[in-house]
Structure 1
Amino acid sequence: MQYSDNIIMMPFEPKRPYQEIGLKLRQELLDGRYNIGDRLPPERDIAERLDVSRTVVREALIMLELENLVEVKKGSGVYVLNMPSNANSRSNIVGDDAGPFEMLQARQLLESNIAEFAAMQVTPSDITQMRAALELERQELASGTKDCSGDETFHLCIAQATQNSVLVDMLRQSWERRESSPMWKKLHSHINGQDYREEWLQDHAKILAALQRKDPIAAKNAMWQHLENVKQRLLELSDIDDPNFDGYLFSSNPVVLLGND
């Protein structure tokens, strides 16, 4: 415990991988490794240095962004905006929110098994409802709306096909948790366009085809691959690093130096 002006400060104990990395980056700010206005190293460099996946680094940067410590400039990178007042203070915004890629991993494990079981239980009525959800997705995509109710309905229909109310409740809870997540919303704020939804619609069609054949293995694999595609596309679409940035290869710009000779 730390005492300041007779106020007890409870240390922030990280519960999630991104929080641990976020605290390390926050401590580096406090230690003077970076100054306000500095560009942080690319995600891949941070991931390699701290020996974690790039998705964990992305989540840690979202945490710092929500705390108003860094600013993301699309296609340029992450810049220091403010300095933290306390390395161990808990964010009132993030709290214990799960990271978006951690959520996707949980969904991948849950929903692939739901799809496998659904393929053994599915009825013609279930297939009709899934087709209707797929058609709703097509209509939403064609209209250009950001509404993704067809996407959610399709996944829910698969859970309902298991005839297991607990699995249905678990799926609903995972979607509700995502929709109320500040981390998830911040990730999506860096994504432009809707083209990726066409790819996911095609994934859904493959899942539906496997369910229509009542093929559990194909349904499980199709769902697993779909959510893997979602993860990879979100990582690519929300990438904030400038692919041409090479400022860390030199202590100063060599072209400028040559021009001054």
Structure 2
Amino acid sequence: MENSDNIIMMPFEPKRPYQELGLILRQELIDGHYQVGDRLPPERDIAERLDVSRTVVREAIIMLELENLVEVKKGSGVYVLNIPNQAHSREAVISDDAGPFEMLQARQLLESNIAEFAAIQVTPGDIVKMRAALDLERQELANGVEDEALGDKQFHVCIAEATQNSVLVDMLKDSWERREQSPMWKKLHTHINDQAYREEWLEDHARILAALQRKDPVASKNAMWQHLENVKQRLLELSDIDDPNFDGYLFSSNPVVLLGGD
């Protein structure tokens, strides 16, 4: 049965990487590998043992948090709260949405190409709107606005609108709405207290705007790609439970650089 938070009770078959890993960890709880109060191994150890990325481990832990099976203690680790029932081992209370880092990966691929096309199509009026969005971001940052910050979203929407393509605008808005309604995304942010990263992202936005003002498609694509890479890395670091010094990148290289060439 579905509720307002998109959490469902279902005989569960995984369709996302973090869900597959979450069910493995869930089964290890059922099989007695851990008891209530035990600390799970560090994320890096789980990733190496099961040959998955740290981002997938992070998302699987969020899945178990939403099931109230584990508790994350910042700077300490992940502790077992409850053991699931063997009789319901394939039935889970789980969020049926994409993991937050999977969402960011999709945004990175989509929005870097949107920025590239926008640089070709952008008008002076579009630039004015982007500057207004940046000004709103600065005001929100100065006023300490943390929740429902509108400037960030407005800036990205303005870039999509600069493509003069309504389908791309709809795709961009859909990706933001999906994030805003995601229990996985909301749970990730409960582990993030430091808001200083927003200043870094504002600087990223300024670089994107500068490239768009020059009508430089390669620079615009690269700037957007790097911005969302920075977002992923910063969220990984700020929500890290074990050791902040790890390789959080989802890609071994930047394909935009390879595509852009010299």
Give TM class, smaller chain.
0.7 to 0.9
Note the aligned Cα RMSD (angstroms). 1.4
Structure 2 equivalent of residue 232 of structure 1: 233
Distance 2:229 2:167 in 1: 24
Distance 2:10 2:117 in 1: 45
Does the Cα contact within 8 Å between 2:70 and 2:80 map onto a contact in 1?
yes
Structure 1 equivalent of residue 13 of structure 2: 13
Which residue identity does 1:180 align to in structure 2? Q
Distance 1:90 1:121 in 2: 47
The runs of at least 4 aligned residues of structure 1 exceeding 2 Å deviation read: none
Q: How far does residue 242 in structure 1 lie from its aligned partner after superposition?
A: 5.9
Q: How far does residue 120 in structure 1 lie from its aligned partner after superposition?
A: 0.1
Gap runs ≥5 in structure 2: 1-8, 246-262
Structure 2 equivalent of residue 82 of structure 1: 82
Distance 2:181 2:48 in 1: 31
Distance 1:75 1:242 in 2: 8
Structure 1 equivalent of residue 256 of structure 2: none
Q: Percent identity?
A: 82
Structure 2 equivalent of residue 29 of structure 1: 29
Describe the superposition over 1:124-146 as per-residue Cα deviations: whole angstroms up to 9, x where unpaired.
00000000000100010011111
Write the mapping of 1:75-224 to structure 2, written as runs, cut at 5 A: 75-85=75-85, 86-91=88-93, 93-94=94-95, 96-146=96-146, 147-224=148-225
Does the Cα contact within 8 Å between 2:194 and 2:238 map onto a contact in 1?
no
Distance 2:151 2:117 in 1: 22
Which residue identity does 1:32 align to in structure 2? G
- Relative distance call for 1:107 and 1:243 in structure 2 (3 A) is closer
Q: How far does residue 105 in structure 1 lie from its aligned partner after superposition?
A: 0.3
Which residue identity does 1:157 align to in structure 2? C
SS class of match (1:90): strand
Distance 2:10 2:134 in 1: 49
Distance 1:11 1:234 in 2: 32
Does the Cα contact within 8 Å between 1:137 and 1:150 map onto a contact in 2?
yes
Q: How far does residue 148 in structure 1 lie from its aligned partner after superposition?
A: 1.6
Distance 1:193 1:233 in 2: 10
Distance 2:10 2:154 in 1: 42
Asked if 1:73 corresponds to 2:87, the answer is no
Distance 1:50 1:242 in 2: 19
Does the Cα contact within 8 Å between 1:133 and 1:151 map onto a contact in 2?
yes
Describe the superposition over 1:149-192 as per-residue Cα deviations: whole angstroms up to 9, x where unpaired.
00000000000000000000000000000000000000001000
Structure 1 equivalent of residue 252 of structure 2: none
The answer to which of 10-19 and 100-109 deviates more is 10-19
Which residue identity does 1:69 align to in structure 2? L
Q: How far does residue 241 in structure 1 lie from its aligned partner after superposition?
A: 1.8
Bigger Rg, which one: 1
Does the Cα contact within 8 Å between 1:77 and 1:242 map onto a contact in 2?
no
SS class of match (1:126): helix
Distance 1:243 1:108 in 2: 23
Distance 2:63 2:205 in 1: 31
SS class of match (1:78): strand
Which residue identity does 2:59 align to in structure 1? E
SS class of match (1:79): strand
Distance 1:44 1:66 in 2: 21
Structure 1 equivalent of residue 253 of structure 2: none
Which residue identity does 1:22 align to in structure 2? G
Normalising by structure 1, we get a TM-score of 0.87
Distance 1:73 1:65 in 2: 11
